[in-house]
Amino acid sequence: MQNNLLEEIKHSKYFLISFLLFEFVLLYFCFAFPKGSTNYLLNKLYVYEWLNFIMKYSTHLGDGLSIIVFLIICLFVNKNGWKKYLLIFINFALSGGIAQLLKRLLNQPRPKGLLGNNLIYINDINIHSSHSMPSGHTITIFSFIAILILIYRNKFSNSYYQIVLLLFAIIIALTRVYVNQHFLEDIAVGASIGVFVSYAIKLIGYKFLKIE
């Protein structure tokens, strides 16, 4: 098991190193500035309607429904890859379950619940007030990107692909702060959980499903 873990880390080193740098930057901002500072900062960009439009819809790419639709399409296109799709689904279900459990246990207020009318909100978005920590969308997108890199190692072995996929996950995570559904702390924790669960699930898949 230890050798398998080291092998996975070696294979995904570009993603992992870049991810750790991202987490370091997030944690720096979380500790260096008051909670909600990033939300106030991003609120200044609300004058750009085109950006609000993009953020309003792109944030849904972190929905669990998006992952399920992706898996269904893949299953129709290539039924032979069902073991990998199953592992992606297990990864999605486990990370989502952890997210919902922690949300209820921690019961932290969201930006609207803590900062209220001090923030500006995008129209036609159902803004929640509670269960902020951790960000479920962030867990979903990071676990999805991480497990893709780990499962399809031949396709995503290049540093360029790993970093581009990570940047995609980062952008989707930041949309959660932009639309004031979460704080920066929520996506920092969510990203860590998503990546950790993915490595654990890949090792399980290696052992029980014989997925290399």
Which residues neighbour 205 within 8 Å (Cβ) at sequence distance 6 or greater?
A: 83, 87, 90, 151, 211
Give pLDDT, residue 72.
82
Tell me: pLDDT of 75 over 80.
no
**How confident is the prediction for the chain on average, in pLDDT?**
90
Structural domain span for residue 171: 2-209
Q: What local confidence, expressed as pLDDT, does residue 197 receive?
A: 94
Q: Is the confidence at residue 18, as pLDDT, over 80?
A: yes
Question: What would the mean pLDDT of 171-188 be, rounded to a whole number?
Answer: 97
Q: What pLDDT score does 188 carry?
A: 96
For residue 186, the domain's CATH number is 1.20.144
Is residue 182 within 8 A of residue 110, CB to CB? The reply is yes
Average pLDDT score over residue span 170-182: 97
Mean pLDDT of the region 161-184: 96
| Top-confidence residue, 118 or 83 | 118
94 to each of 44, 91, 129, how far by Cα in Å? 36, 5, 24
Q: Cβ of 38: how many Cβ atoms within 10 Å?
A: 22
Give the pLDDT score at 26. 96
Task: Count up the domains in the chain and report the number.
Answer: 1
The pLDDT score that the predictor gives to residue 77 is 74
